[in-house]
Amino acid sequence: MKQLSLFLCFKYFCRKKIVLLSIAAVALSCALLITVASLFTGFIEAIENSADDHLGDIVIGAPLGLKISKYDRLINDLEKNYLIEAATAVLSGQGLLHMGKGTGDVRAVRIWGIEAAGRAKATPFADLLVRQKNKNTPPTFAVEDSAEQLGGFVGIGVVAKPDDVTDEYDFEQVTASIGREVFLTTGTKELKRRTIKFTIADVVFSGVYEFDKDFIYLPIDELAEKLYPSQGKIADMIQIRLSRKVEPQAALPVVRGIWQNFADNELGWTNYAISLAKVSTSRQMQARLLAEYRKQMAMLMLIFGVVSAGVVLLIFCIFYLIVMTKQKDIAIVKSCGLSSGAVAVLFVVFGLIIGLIGSAFGVVMGYLFTKNVNYIEHLISVLFDLKLWKSSTYMFTRIPNQVNWESVLWVGLAAVLAAALGAVIPAIAAAGVRPVKILRYE
Amino acid sequence: MYKIILPTRYLLKRRVTYLAVAAVALCVFTVVVVMTVMNGLVGEFKGKNHDFVGDCIVGTDSLVGFAYYPDFLSKLREQDFVLAAAPVAKGFGLLTQPGTGQNIGVEIMGIEPASFCRATQFAQTLYYHKDNPGAAFTPTYDPALAGCVVGIDMVAGTRDSLGRYHHDPESPRIELMITCFPLTAKGALAKAGTDLVNTKTFHYSDDSHTGLVKVDSRMIYVPFDSAQKLFGMAGPNPRASAIHVKFAEGVPLKTGVEKIAKMWDSFVATHKNETYAYLLKNATVQTWLDYRRSSIAPMEKEQTMLILLFAMLGIITVFIIFVVFYMIISHKSKDIGILKSVGVSRGAVVQLFLTFAALVGIVGAGIGAAAGCAFLIKINDMEDWLFEHFGWQLWDRTVYAIGDIPNNIEPDVLAIIIASAILAALLGALLPTARAARQQPVEVLQVSQL
């Protein structure tokens, strides 16, 4: 009997084309929420990863106005610990770069003095170099065909500008800039200006606009000698890459201990000065900004959640319509022995099934859209001459397209529950149908 | 009469109609709130850009600048449609505060404060010299010193939780050293040897708060002639980077810019045989909107994307109304049969149900708009309360350069949203109404159907 009733009910319902509408509505809402959540979390993760790549997992920063001398010993101490894979020093500053004779091009730049080979061990720096990335040897500042000249690296945004329409760099122009002689002016604490002439030995293309637009890299020893003569090896930042599977938070106390020990024995700073040095994970350094992005994502999800609440209403209306127009069928099923409770359960289960099918379609649509978002964006730019995503606005050259499976799970679950919720009142109405009233002849 | 009575009865008596009204109201509420905030943000940002640039700009991106600007400036100032015109020299520099050892790469803007304040809203961005912008470069602590105005984010530290900056009653005494690469008219370095740069010391005289993050965080304003010297633009044929223009009241932007573009073309033609004529070719005449396009366009695109996403919400509302009307019409077939049997035409049935749909749309949109407006009026109070009790802000004002949440309801936007909601209601009711109009009394009123 039960099987017959179920069969009849499903037969009736499946013939209702309007049911497809509720499936489509669930699928669309689901796809929208999954896409928004994935793109936003992808963006946040990309920021975290770019900070890891650029700064390492943990950073030791000297207090303002102080420099870490004998940093090679500190790096040595750090690398002895099994938690740490590699560490590298940075001497940072800002300056003014003249792009060479006759160009009339001057720009403000951020300067990092680095050890190219050491940095390549601690970060994926070697993979970012346009000329040297495919070489098997560690990167160097050596200028091709001219060993005496001082070589330096520049961010790709320093030598080229992304195209207004395609947002892509002209790599011919970029490659042509390698070997060009440029002039850097920066200052020392004693207010002396130093102008450094160097040759562009390579171009750094990280895909993160913030790091590409105005960074230049010079050999740390040469930079230190120019700005702080006779002070030996000095740096203001030590970037640390942890061994695989080591959590930065877990390694932080160890790094602090090594730093404290080094500072006490080697630097001769006061305890207060040592306490001012910042030892933090690269993610902690981004924490405030990331918290704001997460808040914006939550607001957006809330707004689209409200939009999706319309879907619950839609399902309610559709189910109510089915109940109202199929009262006779429900009455027949009930007259065959199906209880009111069973009829109600049937409607709720049907709501769940619609939710399941809708969210399955939604997940597939959301997945396909997120994975292909760069192609879609490219297509829009080609068809409508409209560039939606620019690295200068949204930091990254490519739209992060990783599907966030956690969001997929809870959005899918919410969709199934919402569909079932929309079916509850119509289910109660269906349960209340009295065969004797509906099926009487008069 | 029935055309009014019946739709009103359906609206009041059929509970399922409330659902359609609720759907329309929810949709209108969401769109009114989000669009008002978004429009407010975009409008505010555009306004700040307009204030910063003036109405029109004649300029070049080249750091070399263009020559003969004094002649063109004089011509501009003679025009009735031009209220003010101000020359500007732009470039990059290295800023150092003695004692800190910190060097910061900055943008330098050389301006004549008096003329620049007439051409733009620069005076309103100052703190200590708001009432006397002509003396913007005169430090209050020592008028004899060369002053500079600094972008507020470079000096005033972080904003408080309400987005306010702290200022001492007296301007602080800060010495700032600025270094630039002077360039020749051909773009080469103007100085040779070991000292390739020009350096000059200025003293903080004021700060400028334009509300544009990229400007406030890295712009230093110095006297125009000092900037020319620093950039190598001074000399017998002085150069400037741009001329900012403000039009007289009532002059449409497009008309004004077209007139200046014509003047510029003729100016370039008359100077074509001059030594530095090639520099004039790099300069363009643009509206403030075109000049700041790269900053404004992303926000406008985001606004468009949001509108497209809300169109989806509209489609869901259309479907809800479709289903509700389908349900009502299925149940009211007897009413339709009786009406038709007493001579009511198909057109009148259509009119009846469309009036009903319009009523649903009007009531739903009215409720949604009223709720949206009420929410917007109180939105900042609510945010204050949330911050006071839970420490929650929609935007952390210490991170974002946003003041209050924009809640200025634009009547035209509101009218468009309400009209769209009514239209959506009519659209959703169209198919069920057509079905109602096609019903035959002989079919719906037969005994077996009753």
CB contact, 8 Å: A110 with chain B? yes
Which residues in chain B are contacts of A291 at CB distance < 8 A?
A: 396
Report the run of H or E that residue B78 belongs to, with start and end: helix B69-78
Residues B319 and B230 occupy one common structural domain: no
Which residues in chain B are contacts of A107 at CB distance < 8 A?
A: 92, 105
For an interface test with B, the pick among A43, A164, A165, A191 (most B C-beta atoms closer than 10 Å) comes out as: A191
CA distance A317 to A314: 5
Closest-CA distance of chain A to residue B23, Å: 7
Residues B172 and B88 occupy one common structural domain: yes
In DSSP notation, B160-214 reads: -TTSPPP--SS----EEEEEE--B-TTSSBS--SS---EEEEEEEEEEE--S-HH
CB distance A119 to A137 below 8 Å: no
**Position B57 confidence tier, pLDDT thresholds 50, 70, 90:** very high
Closest-CA distance of chain B to residue A146, Å: 22
Residue B18 is predicted with a pLDDT of 86
Residues B31 and B114 occupy one common structural domain: no
The model's pLDDT over B151-172, given as tens digits with 9 standing for 90+, comes to 998 875 666 777 778 888 888 8
Mean pLDDT, 10 residues at a time, over chain A (442 residues)? 61 68 86 90 89 91 88 94 94 87 79 93 91 89 83 93 84 91 79 83 91 93 87 92 91 94 90 90 88 86 78 80 79 82 86 91 95 91 83 83 92 89 87 79 56
Reading the block at residue B206, the tokens are 């004021």
Residues B90 and B33 occupy one common structural domain: no
CB–CB of A21 and B309 under 8 A?
no
Which of B282, B307, B333 terminates a domain? The answer is B282
Residues B304 and B235 occupy one common structural domain: no
Scanning every residue of chain A, which has its alpha carbon at the shortest distance from the alpha carbon of B61?
A: A105
Q: Could you tell me which residue, A65 or B370, shows the higher pLDDT? A: B370
CA distance B232 to B192: 13
Which residues in chain B are contacts of A93 at CB distance < 8 A?
A: 103
Number of inter-chain CB pairs under 8 A, A vs B: 161
Return the C-alpha torsion angle B337, B343, B349, B351, nearest 10: -160
- Find the length of chain A: 442
Residues B241 and B98 occupy one common structural domain: yes
Which of B258, B282, B306 terminates a domain? The answer is B282
CB contact, 8 Å: A325 with chain B? yes
Residues B105 and B23 occupy one common structural domain: no
Closest-CA distance of chain A to residue B311, Å: 11
CB–CB of B319 and A25 under 8 A?
yes
CB distance A88 to A123 below 8 Å: yes
Q: Which of A28, A288, A292 sits opposite B312 (nearest CB)?
A: A28
Report the run of H or E that residue B106 belongs to, with start and end: strand B103-111
Closest-CA distance of chain B to residue A254, Å: 31
Q: Which of A65, A95, A195 sits opposite B101 (nearest CB)?
A: A65
Scanning every residue of chain B, which has its alpha carbon at the shortest distance from the alpha carbon of A323?
A: B327
Domain annotation covers residue B290: no
Domain annotation covers residue B56: no
Closest-CA distance of chain B to residue A145, Å: 25
CB distance A404 to A300 below 8 Å: no
Residue B13 has pLDDT above 80, yes or no: no
The model's pLDDT over B294-307, given as tens digits with 9 standing for 90+, comes to 888 888 888 888 88
Domain annotation covers residue B432: yes
DSSP SS3 for A219: strand
CA distance A304 to A166: 30
Residue B81 has pLDDT above 70, yes or no: yes
Residue B100 CA from chain centroid, whole number: 38
Q: Could you tell me which residue, B27 or A90, shows the higher pLDDT? A: A90
Scanning every residue of chain B, which has its alpha carbon at the shortest distance from the alpha carbon of A20?
A: B319
Domain annotation covers residue B83: yes
DSSP SS3 for A415: helix
Report the run of H or E that residue A122 belongs to, with start and end: helix A116-122
Residues B18 and B69 occupy one common structural domain: no
Domain annotation covers residue B291: no
Domain annotation covers residue B53: no
CB–CB of B181 and A292 under 8 A?
no
CA distance A59 to A70: 17
Which domain covers residue B441, as residue numbers? 2-46+296-449
Scanning every residue of chain A, which has its alpha carbon at the shortest distance from the alpha carbon of B193?
A: A195
Residues B310 and B421 occupy one common structural domain: yes
Report the run of H or E that residue A240 belongs to, with start and end: strand A237-242
Domain annotation covers residue B52: no
Residue A346 is predicted with a pLDDT of 83
Q: Is A393 left (phi over 0), alpha (psi -120 to 50) or beta?
A: alpha
Domain annotation covers residue B369: yes
Closest-CA distance of chain B to residue A137, Å: 34
Which of A141-150, B142-151, B349-358 is most confident? B142-151
Residue B69 has pLDDT above 80, yes or no: yes
**Position B266 confidence tier, pLDDT thresholds 50, 70, 90:** very high
CB–CB of A96 and B105 under 8 A?
yes
* ipTM for this prediction: 0.72
CB–CB of B92 and A106 under 8 A?
yes
Q: Which of B103, B181, B394 sits opposite A106 (nearest CB)?
A: B181
Among A272-276, B43-47, B257-261, B444-448, where is mean pLDDT lowest?
B444-448
Q: Could you tell me which residue, B81 or B2, shows the higher pLDDT? A: B81
Beta strands in A223-289 (DSSP E): 234-235, 237-242, 278-281
CB–CB of B62 and A96 under 8 A?
no
Return the C-alpha torsion angle A312, B377, B400, B291, nearest 10: 100
Number of domains in chain B: 2
Residues B175 and B41 occupy one common structural domain: no
Nearest to B53 by CA among B282, B295, B246: B246
Which residues in chain A are contacts of B294 at CB distance < 8 A?
A: 392
Report the run of H or E that residue A430 belongs to, with start and end: helix A405-431
Q: Which of B104, B320, B331 sits opposite A317 (nearest CB)?
A: B320
In DSSP notation, B335-368 reads: HHHHHHHTT--HHHHHHHHHHHHHHHHHHHHHHH
CA distance A267 to A63: 13
Residues B245 and B355 occupy one common structural domain: no
What share of chain B has pLDDT > 70, as a percent?
96
CB contact, 8 Å: A70 with chain B? no
Which of B251, B282, B313 terminates a domain? The answer is B282
CB distance B299 to B309 below 8 Å: no
Residue A304 is predicted with a pLDDT of 79
What share of chain B has pLDDT > 90, as a percent?
50
Residues B70 and B186 occupy one common structural domain: yes
For an interface test with B, the pick among A67, A96, A389 (most B C-beta atoms closer than 10 Å) comes out as: A96
CB–CB of B105 and A94 under 8 A?
yes
CA distance B314 to B302: 19
For an interface test with A, the pick among B32, B176, B189 (most A C-beta atoms closer than 10 Å) comes out as: B189
CB contact, 8 Å: A426 with chain B? no
CB–CB of B188 and A101 under 8 A?
yes
DSSP A146: B
Residue A221 is predicted with a pLDDT of 92
Kindly report the average pLDDT of chain B as a whole number: 88
CB distance A131 to A143 below 8 Å: no
